[in-house]
Amino acid sequence: MKRSKQILEGLHNQYYRATYKSMGFSTDDLKRPIIGIANAWSECVPGHFNLRQVAQRVKDGIYRAGGTPVEFGTIGGCDGFAQGHDGMHYILPSRELIADSVESMAQINLFDGLVLLGSCDKIVPGMLMAAARLDIPCILLPGGPMEGGIVFDGRKSDQTSSAEALGMLSANKITEDEYTLLENLSCPTCGSCSYLGTANTMCSLSEALGMTLPDGGVIPAYSAARLAIAEGTGIKIMELVEKNITARQIITKGSIRNAIKVCLAMSGSTNAVMHLTAIANEAEVEMDVLQEFDELSRKTPQLAKINPASEYNMIDFYQAGGVSKLLEEMHSLMDTGVMTVTAHTVMENIQAHKYQYPGNKNIIKSIDSPFGYEGGVAVLRGNLAPDTGITKPGAFDKSLRHFKGTAICFNSEEAAEEAILAGKVHDGHVVVIRYEGPKGGPGMREMFKAMKYLYGRGLAKTTALVTDGRFSGTNNGCFVGHISPEAAEGGPIAIVENGDTIEIDVEKRSLDLLVSEEEIQKRLKKWQRPEPKFKRGYLGLYCKLAFSGSKGAVLNYDKI
């Protein structure tokens, strides 16, 4: 029985039909399956700016296939707008709000299926979490990536080029005219960021999970193909409703492993580790996602290189074959029998796929000739990260895979950024930024600007950065984030002192503070938990309930 029939069928349900009819729905409309469209459109997020047009074509497809679309809005914040100020405290916590709002609307209205429209960093995982929680037929459709901008520093620019350029300007490496030119020419179209940041990583991984139609994560935002796949998505959701193919039939242990392997093969954002952990939690899949990343990273080859790992952007990746090409190259490593939103298996999708452009071996290699024989994301452990820390060796120079340096410590993102721009960070420093974890931040802010400033000042290959916060998917250089336990929970990162030696060894998967265990315990006994930065509002709640990054930074309802 379709869910919507509970409130739309029968004489006794006239109340609900009358309510719909007040908005212009007809008697015939209300006899059809009711498909919700969760649309994160706004004028706040470039990746969502085209979703009005995309939503209309989804509606066309739903109508064409015999359903009735009902659109509603949900929030979606742009990480870029929130960088470097208090707004970033809200970005990761907004993921839970998005999941909760989609769940709420789907249950209030008893939709028979859902199309989820969102493109950016926390919106895509939040929507996938809601789909897994609801376990009804769902398809996620992103808005697509933007085109790259004017060439700057050897590649097509994007909005992050401005942060790198500010570092260069502060070091007198470029002129003010060169700096200001980027303002008008680095973002020539709407769409999710043109590089492989968290947004495009998660859009790609939604494809790999089977929750997005093939190519749906990577078709450019401004292309006719984006509108065509929107209509196709509307048609396909009706097939899933008819066949009762629900989200948990697609989000399984096998499909999550597929997504992990694709993330490793394309050197995706480190944030994907946390988001896939949260999605698996919502789907009630019993697996240790961090352990899977650790084990699979050692035997999954790196087959794709996209900015920040190379000069090529997401549209280049799409034209080289995109996620579909990766799945084809990696099919021997994948669980190709899992179901997808096409109502076919991964292998059936691979066999049916037709490529629109010639391949490009500079972007996507064959499995026999990879860029590297290990994945682009690694899980580190050691006395500085007893639970875990996450790094992205696929995006930085191999010379940095073993780094030993001197700690220079900061208790906030802003303090570190100010010191970097003032020239207080030098070759051989390991910049420690703490009290930026899920509880301590709160919200696990990204150290995006700090890394960009290091790059701009010419320190990307001579310094490292470790934090209990996160990183943008566009960051490169030697970094380790998601350090757990975080400083606010009394993790060892809280007691690092200026002048201590820190050793990062990617090959050994280790992160260690080179101080005696006796000294570490002595310092920990003196440590005092700081007062929460927020005691009211949503962040007051979040900093009390958030799990660590190693557990996906989801809310721990057992604490209520």
Instruction: Considering the candidates 472, 484, 548, 550, report the single residue annotated as catalytic.
Output: 472
Question: What is the distance between the alpha carbons of residues 174 and 333, in angstroms, rounded to a whole number?
Answer: 46
Question: What is the distance between the alpha carbons of residues 256 and 263, in angstroms, rounded to a whole number?
Answer: 10
The per-residue b/e assignment along 473-509, b for 16 or more CB within 10 angstroms, e otherwise, is bbbbbbbbbbbbbbbbbebbbbbbeeebebbbebeeb
Question: What is the distance between the alpha carbons of residues 167 and 135, in angstroms, rounded to a whole number?
Answer: 47
Q: What would the two tokens of residue 196 be?
A: 């492989």
Question: What is the distance between the alpha carbons of residues 547 and 395, in angstroms, rounded to a whole number?
Answer: 27
Question: What is the distance between the alpha carbons of residues 490 and 483, in angstroms, rounded to a whole number?
Answer: 12
Q: What would the two tokens of residue 130 be?
A: 């809601």
Question: What is the distance between the alpha carbons of residues 251 and 272, in angstroms, rounded to a whole number?
Answer: 15
Question: What is the distance between the alpha carbons of residues 560 and 551, in angstroms, rounded to a whole number?
Answer: 18
DSSP string, 379-396: EEEETTEEEEEEE-GGGS
Question: Which strands make up the sheet holding 68-73, listed edge to edge?
Answer: 68-73, 34-39, 113-117, 138-141
Question: What is the distance between the alpha carbons of residues 219 and 227, in angstroms, rounded to a whole number?
Answer: 10
**Residue 85 burial by Cβ neighbours in a 10 Å radius (0-12, 13-18, 19+):** exposed
Question: What is the distance between the alpha carbons of residues 281 and 287, in angstroms, rounded to a whole number?
Answer: 9
Q: Name which of 260, 198, 206 is nearest 473 in CA terms.
A: 198
- Residue 472 annotated among the catalytic residues of the structure: yes
What type of residue sits at position 285?
V
The catalytic residue positions are 472
